[in-house]
Amino acid sequence: MQFKEYFYTLFKSLNPESYSELSERKLSEAFKYFLFIFIASFIVMLLLFIPSLLAFNSFWEQKSVNLNQFELDASINVNNGFYLLKDPSIKIDKSDANFTDARVMITEDSIHYRSLFFFGKTKVLPLPSYDLKDTDTARSLLYLLLPSLIIWGFILFFAYFVFLILFTWVIGFVIVYFLNNKITAKRLLKIVFFASTILVSIQLVLLPFFRLLLLPVIAYWILILIIIFTLKDHVQESRNVFRNKDEKIEVDDSGNIKSKKRKKSYDEENDGYVEWK
């Protein structure tokens, strides 16, 4: 699927009538489309958070007025040295006197590590003390933590959406079963991935302004129900058309009927092959 086709698919995914065609695509296309929507919405969300970051100074100055002291000290008190990890070797000790066989050593007031380059040159990072009442210090700490926050946010949101989509797939299949609908599990899985546009985009794009949790989920479930009922009617209509063409008659050279054969089911023909009784 080319890049511009993703945008075309985006608009089609909001129309329940389009799922008779979307659900015929490959499952890999449906998952790739979900990845596209998720990554695009996540990037838009980050861009919309930029004004909040730029306004952090005034925000923190207002919030920290009532703080007499707000300090964050990073320090360690340890009795005996021990290895936190063996490979890569990370050791925690009172001092760096035993920094011989470890790649990283954490002492009470600093972090010592051997660089992978420059022939294992030792470097030292002091454990910091932050006065968070100071606006510039608080902003610097926020920017320091920002990459980790973005990475963890990406992972957690991705896991959340995948879980919700698979949960919807299971519930949707139960509904399909009780409705005696002929939508297969694989076809329904493609549907829930394509329909995730409304779930992912609303949840992420509006996050900088509103903390919406249930609204995108409810809208997503309503769309899935509409698609299921729409496809049910489509399949029934296709079956009615097919009933008039379900016989194959073979005749001999004299024009006499040699055999009659009947197609097994519409669904099998619709998947690209035909079986005969």
Query: What are the pLDDT digits (tens) for 192-205?
Result: 999 999 999 999 99
| Integer Cα distance of 152 and 42 in angstroms | 12
Does residue 233 share a domain with residue 152?
Answer: yes
Residues 167-190, mean pLDDT to the nearest whole number: 90
What is the pLDDT confidence band of residue 243, given thresholds at 50, 70 and 90?
A: very low
pLDDT in tens, 76-132: 565 666 665 565 566 667 666 666 666 677 676 666 766 654 445 677 666 565 555
Residues 27-51, mean pLDDT to the nearest whole number: 92
Does residue 24 share a domain with residue 160?
Answer: yes
Q: Which amino acid is at 80?
A: N
Does residue 14 share a domain with residue 112?
Answer: no
In a domain? residue 262: no
Q: How long, in residues, is the chain?
A: 277
Q: Which residue carries 């809208």 as its tokens? A: 219
CA distances from 172 to 126, 143, 189, 270, 275 (A): 55, 43, 9, 22, 29
Kindly report the backbone phi and psi dihedral angles of residue 65, in degrees, each rounded to the nearest multiple of 5, phi listed first. -60, -40
Q: Which amino acid is at 205?
A: V
**Domain count along the chain:** 2
In a domain? residue 103: yes
With 0.75 as the threshold, say if the pTM is over it.
no
Q: Which residue carries 């997503």 as its tokens? A: 220
Residues 6 or more apart in contact with residue 76 via CB below 8 angstroms: 92, 106, 107, 108, 127
Does residue 215 share a domain with residue 194?
Answer: yes
Does residue 145 share a domain with residue 116?
Answer: no
In a domain? residue 268: no
Dump the DSSP string for 85-96. EETTEEEE-SSG
Does residue 170 carry a pLDDT above 70? Answer: yes
What is the pLDDT confidence band of residue 250, given thresholds at 50, 70 and 90?
A: low
What is the pLDDT confidence band of residue 54, given thresholds at 50, 70 and 90?
A: confident
| Integer Cα distance of 12 and 5 in angstroms | 10
Q: How far apart are the first and last CA of the chain?
A: 38
Does residue 143 share a domain with residue 18?
Answer: yes
Does residue 244 carry a pLDDT above 50? Answer: no
In a domain? residue 49: yes
Does residue 36 share a domain with residue 115?
Answer: no
| Contacts made by residues 69-75, CB under 8 angstroms, sequence distance 24+ | 69/133, 70/131, 70/132, 70/133, 71/129, 71/130, 71/131, 71/132, 71/133, 72/129, 72/130, 72/132, 72/141, 73/129, 73/130, 74/127, 74/128, 74/129, 75/108, 75/109, 75/127
- 183: exposed, middle or buried (C-beta count within 10 Å: 0-12, 13-18, 19+)? buried
As a whole number of angstroms, the longest Cα–Cα distance in the chain is 106
In a domain? residue 17: yes
What is the pLDDT confidence band of residue 182, given thresholds at 50, 70 and 90?
A: confident
Per-residue confidence (pLDDT) for residue 221, from 0 to 100: 94
Rounded to 5°, angle at Cα 143 from 137 and 146 = 140
Does residue 217 carry a pLDDT above 60? Answer: yes
Residues 269-275, mean pLDDT to the nearest whole number: 45
| Integer Cα distance of 250 and 219 in angstroms | 52
Q: What is the mean pLDDT of the chain?
A: 74
Tokens of 16: 């329940």
Per-residue confidence (pLDDT) for residue 266, from 0 to 100: 45
Domain interval for residue 19? 3-55+135-242
